[in-house]
Amino acid sequence: MRSKKNKIQIVLLLIICFLLAVYLFVIFRDDIHTYFEQKRTVTVYLIRHGQTEANVNNINVGGGSDSPLTDTGITESQKLGTFLKDIKFQNAYSSELKRAVTTESLVLSQNNYWDSENKEIITMSGLDDINLGNAENLPLSDAVAQYGTEVTDFGNADDQNFVPVTGGENKYTFIQRFDHAMKKIVETEENHGKNVIVAAHSSASFWLQKKFPYLKDNGLKNDSYTILTYDGDEFSLISYNNSAN
C-alpha cells in the first residue's frame, strides 16, 4: 500500500514540475526568444577605404591595381575611427588591397577595445574591388577615349554573360564573389553574435543594391560606413553610406 502511495506522489510531483515548466516558458518565452536572437545576430560595419591619389587624379583603380591614401584620406579614416571608437569589434575583415587594409588599420587604431597586438585584420580576395581589366591604372579621360563611355558599364546584376569592353569583371560575377565573402564572414561570426568591421570599396554598392533594390545606383563615399545586421537567415540594412563628419 505504501509503495503504491509513493508512486502516486512521484507521479503527482512530476505533473506539477511539468506544469510549472510550461508556466515558466509561457511567461518568459519572449525573453528566451530575444536571448537566442541576440546571441546569433551579427552586426556588420561595412566601410569604404579613404581617399586615394587615384581618386583625386581621376585614375581608374579597381581590383587589379592599388593607390595610396592621400593625407585627407588618412585624416578622414582616423576621424571615422574616432566616431566608431566605442564599438567593440569581435573581428576585422578587409579586401586584400592595401588602400582598404590601411584604412581599416587607421580606423582600428582609434578603437578603445581593439587589441592590435593579439588580433590581425583578416584579408579576403572576395572583398576586393571590381576588376577593371585593361582600364586599370588609366586616367578616366584616356579610358573613355579608348573604350567610349561604356568603360563604366559592368552590365546588369543578373546578366552573367555580359562582357565589359575593357575585358574586366562584370557586375554579376563581382556580386557573386562579394556575397560569398560576406556570407562566409557572418556565418563564421554568428556563434559570437557580435560586431564585425569590413573594409571594402565603392563597388560594394553593387552588392548592396542587389540586396536592397530601393537603394540609389551610386557608389559608396570614401570613409563612409554602412551598418547591416544578419540574423542567421538574411541581411537587414540599418544605415547606408553615412559619413562620420
Give the per-residue SS3 of 86-107: CCCEEEEEECCCHHHHHHHHHH
pLDDT at res. 72: 98
The answer to whether residues 124 and 193 belong to one domain is yes
CATH number at residue 121: 3.40.50.1240
Cell reading at 8: 502516486
- Say yes or no to pLDDT of 26 above 90: no
The answer to whether residues 80 and 200 belong to one domain is yes
Q: How many Å separate Cα 140 from the centre of its chain?
A: 28
What's the pTM?
0.84
The answer to whether residues 92 and 18 belong to one domain is no
Question: pLDDT averaged over the chain?
Answer: 91
The answer to whether residues 68 and 122 belong to one domain is yes
Contact 129, 65 (CB under 8 A): no
Helix residue spans in the chain (DSSP H)? 2-40, 53-56, 71-83, 98-109, 140-147, 171-189, 204-211
The percent of residues in the chain predicted with pLDDT above 70, rounded, is 87
Q: How many structural domains does the chain have? A: 2
d(CA 91, CA 185): 9
Which single residue is written with the C-alpha cell 566608431?
A: 84
How many Cβ atoms from other residues are within 10 Å of residue 119's Cβ?
Answer: 13
d(CA 132, CA 54): 14
The percent of residues in the chain predicted with pLDDT above 90, rounded, is 79
- Write the pLDDT tens digit of every residue in 158-217: 999 999 999 999 999 999 999 999 999 999 998 777 999 999 999 999 999 999 999 987
Q: Which of 11-20, 80-89, 108-117, 199-208 has the lowest mean pLDDT?
A: 11-20
Residue type, 2: R
The answer to whether residues 227 and 112 belong to one domain is yes
The answer to whether residues 45 and 35 belong to one domain is no
pLDDT at res. 29: 61
The answer to whether residues 97 and 18 belong to one domain is no
The answer to whether residues 24 and 116 belong to one domain is no
- Say yes or no to pLDDT of 95 above 60: yes
Which single residue is written with the C-alpha cell 576586393?
A: 128
- Say yes or no to pLDDT of 86 above 90: yes
d(CA 35, CA 47): 28
- Say yes or no to pLDDT of 58 above 90: yes
- Say yes or no to pLDDT of 34 above 70: no
The answer to whether residues 165 and 72 belong to one domain is yes
pLDDT at res. 1: 55
Which single residue is written with the C-alpha cell 536592397?
A: 212
Which phi and psi (to 5°) does residue 72 adopt? -65, -40
Cell reading at 54: 587615384
Sign of CA dihedral 79, 80, 86, 89: negative
Contact 104, 197 (CB under 8 A): yes
The answer to whether residues 144 and 188 belong to one domain is yes
- Say yes or no to pLDDT of 35 above 60: no
d(CA 190, CA 205): 23
Question: Which structural domain, as residue segments, surrounds residue 124?
Answer: 41-243
- Say yes or no to pLDDT of 5 above 90: no
The answer to whether residues 101 and 161 belong to one domain is yes
- Write the pLDDT tens digit of every residue in 97-123: 999 999 999 999 999 999 999 999 999
Q: Which strand ranges, in their side-by-side order, compose the sheet holding 89-94?
A: 122-123, 89-94, 195-200, 42-48, 224-230, 235-243
Reported as half-sphere exposure (CB side, CA atoms, 13 A), residue 45 has a value of: 26
The answer to whether residues 63 and 115 belong to one domain is yes
pLDDT at res. 184: 97
Nearest CA among 53, 60, 61, 56 for reference residue 141: 60
pLDDT at res. 22: 64
- Write the pLDDT tens digit of every residue in 127-159: 999 999 999 999 999 999 999 999 999 999 999
